Amino acid sequence: MTTTAIQTETPAEEKRRLRKVATATIVGTTVEWFDFYLYASMASIVIAKVFFPAGDSQLATIQASVTFAVGFIARPLGGIIFGAMGDQIGRKKTLIVTFMLMGISTAIIGILPTFDAVGYWAPALLLIVRIFQGMGAGAEYAGAAGASYEHARSNKRGSQGAWPALGLNLGLVLSSFTIFLLTLNGDEFLISGGWRIPFVLSILLVAVGLWVRRSMPESPEYERLSEAGAKSKRLPFKALIAKEWRGLLVVVVLAIGYNAVSYIFKSFSLSYITEYQKTPANLTASAVTIAGVVAIIAVPIFGWLCDRFSAKLVIATGAVLSMVFAFPFLALLESGEAAKIMLAIGIGTGIVAPMMFSAQGAFLSRQFPTETRSSGVGSGREIGTAIGAGLAPTGSLVLVAASATNATTGVGVVLTIAGLLILIPALLDQGKRHSTDKN
C-alpha cells in the first residue's frame, strides 16, 4: 500500500490495515519470544545438567547462566546490522529475515549433542547457536515497535506501541506452560530428553508466524520517506552517532536499567529458587505461566495509560515500583514457600516489568526521526540490553554464591540501582525533537 493510498483510505480500510499490523506484530513477537524464553527457562532447569559436566551444581548453574548471557552479548550486533537494514530496505522485509534467523537457531538447539555425548563440544556448539539466536532477538523489537508506532495515529501510539509487549508475554506464557506440561510427572522426563521437543517443534510456529508476517503492510512513514528520497545517504549507525547521540543515550540508559530489573525478576529468580530453594521445575513453570497471564491482561491497560497520560510517566512509575518492591521480592523468594514464590514472580514479572515494557514501544520510537528509528531503537536498546540483561542475572547469582549464607542482599542493591537508572531517561527525553505526540 502506497502512502497516497493510506492517506485516502476509509475508516474500514484503516481498521483492516491495523488489524494486519497488530496480528503480524503480536503473532511474530509471540513466536520469537517463545523461543527466547524457552531457553531462559531451560537454562536453570536443564541446560546446566545436560550441557556441562556433573559435579558442582552451583558452578554449572552459573555456566548455564553465562550461555544465557551470551545471547544478550550478541544482541547489539543484531540490533546494529538489522536495525540498519530496517532503515535501508524497510521494516517488513527486515522483520521476516530476523524471524527466520531466530526460529532456525532455536530448532537447532533442540538437536545439539549433550556433554555426555561429545564433551566440551556441547557447550561450545550451544554458545555458537546462542549467538545467532541472540542476533535475531536483538533485531526483533526495534522492527516490531517501530512498525507499530509508525502505523498508529498520534493519539494511539501508546496502546499500539504496546503490541510487542503483548506478544512478548504471550510467548512467555506459551513457553512456561509448555515446560509445565512436560514436568507434570517430575523433572526426569524433561532432563532425560523431553527438553528437545519444544525446541524442535518450534519450527512449526515459525512457519505460521512467517506466513502472518508476509501479509503485514509496510510502515506508511517509511514509505513516505522512500517516496521522497529522504533516506540518509550515510550508514544509519553513523548518522545516529553524528546527529542522534542524545536519543541513543536515552535508549541505552533506559535499556540497561529496565533489563537488569526485568531479568532479575524472571531469570535470576528461576535459577535462585531452583538451586538454593530446590524448587521443582513444575512449580517454577506454574509461577511464570501465572505471571504471564497477569501481564497479558495488564499490558493493554498500561498501553491505554500511555495514551491517557504519557509513556514517560508510566515508565517512571514502574521504575519507582521496582525499587520499592526489590527487597520484598527477594524475601518472598527466600521463604521457599510456593504461594510466596508465585506472588513474587506474579508481581515482578506480571505487573512491574510489563508496566515499563509496555510504554517503551512509544517512548523509545519517538527518540528518533523515521530515517534512523530502526537503527536507533535497535542499536541503543540492544547495547543496553546486553549490559543489563547479560550481566545482572549472572552477576546476581555470583553475589549469592559468594555470600557465606547465600543471602540476596546484594541482589536487592542491584535492583535498586537499576530502578534509579530507569528514571534518568525521563529527564533526557528527546522525543519533542521528532514527534508531536506526548508519549
Segment 302-317 shows an average pLDDT of 94
pTM of the model: 0.82
**Given the C-alpha cell 540492544, which residue does it identify?**
382
Higher pLDDT, 3 or 422: 422
Q: What is the pLDDT of residue 44?
A: 66
**Given the C-alpha cell 540483561, which residue does it identify?**
389
Spatial separation of the C-alpha atoms in residues 418 and 158, rounded to whole Å: 24
Segment 269-281 shows an average pLDDT of 86
Range among 147-156, 236-245, 286-295, 350-359 with highest mean pLDDT value: 350-359
**Given the C-alpha cell 504471550, which residue does it identify?**
170
Spatial separation of the C-alpha atoms in residues 115 and 167, rounded to whole Å: 34
Residues whose CB falls within 8 Å of the CB of residue 387, separated by 6 or more in sequence, listed in order: 255, 256, 259
From residue 359, how far is each of 13, 196, 237, 258 by CA, in Å? 27, 35, 24, 11
- What class is the 7-216+223-433 domain? mainly alpha
| 399 has pLDDT over 80 | yes
**To the nearest whole number, what is the mean pLDDT of the chain?**
85
Q: What is the pLDDT of residue 432?
A: 55
Segment 373-384 shows an average pLDDT of 89
Higher pLDDT, 19 or 187: 19
Residues whose CB falls within 8 Å of the CB of residue 316, separated by 6 or more in sequence, listed in order: 422, 423, 426
Residues whose CB falls within 8 Å of the CB of residue 28, separated by 6 or more in sequence, listed in order: 95, 99, 140, 144, 167, 209, 212, 213
Segment 51-70 shows an average pLDDT of 75
Spatial separation of the C-alpha atoms in residues 377 and 79, rounded to whole Å: 8
- Return phi, psi of residue 133, to 5°: -65, -40
Mean pLDDT lowest among 36-50, 109-123, 330-344:
36-50
Q: What is the pLDDT of residue 74?
A: 83
pLDDT in tens, 175-196: 888 888 888 877 788 888 888 9
| 437 has pLDDT over 60 | no
Segment 268-293 shows an average pLDDT of 86
Contact 292, 172 (CB under 8 A): yes
Angle value at C-alpha 199, between 261 and 108, nearest 5 degrees: 105
Give me the percent of the chain exceeding a pLDDT of 90: 31
The runs of H, that is alpha helices, within 119-244 are 121-151, 157-161, 163-182, 188-189, 196-213, 220-227, 236-243
User: Taking the domains of the chain in order of start, what are their residue ranges?
Assistant: 7-216+223-433
Whose CA is closest to 285, among 272, 270, 295?
Answer: 270
pLDDT band at 313 (very low <50, low <70, confident <90, very high): very high
- Return phi, psi of residue 204, to 5°: -70, -40
